[in-house]
Amino acid sequence: MEDLTSRTRRFALDVVRYYSQLPKNTEFQVLGKQFIRSGTSVGAHYREACRARSVSEFTAKIEGGLQELEETRYWLELMDALLEERDGTRSIPTAKLLQEATELSAILTACAKNAKARKRLKDEG
């Protein structure tokens, strides 16, 4: 099974590859730059979380990664809609990236919930 560090790195690379396939007109480049910023920062947030000095810091970094994933999905959905509007079809496949963003969101959500639960148990005990 692929570890989360590798998986978020692969996701970032897939985001970069998707961006490179976009049409070179203004609307796609503006949206694409937002997309690439948010999509590549997910792994950075996760790596920062792995170096956290406290559960609170860990949770904050993980939740930052979740926010970036949601933003990435937003930009991807917008670009997908524009591609369909322009071409009458989705000329660049987005389903794989959307699926991976959804799965990463579920994993990071579980990480944050587990960390909060452990902290709560530690504080009570």
> Which pair of structure tokens corresponds to residue 28?
């796609």
User: Cα(first)–Cα(last) distance of the chain, in Å?
Assistant: 34
DSSP state of 3: -
| pTM value surpassing 0.75 | yes
Residue range(s) defining the domain that contains residue 56: 4-124
Look up tokens 């990463």; give the residue: 104
Question: Domains in the chain: how many in total?
Answer: 1
Question: pLDDT by residue (tens digit) across 74-125?
Answer: 999 999 999 888 877 766 788 899 999 999 999 999 999 999 888 787 787 6
Domain holding 82: CATH number? 1.20.1440.60
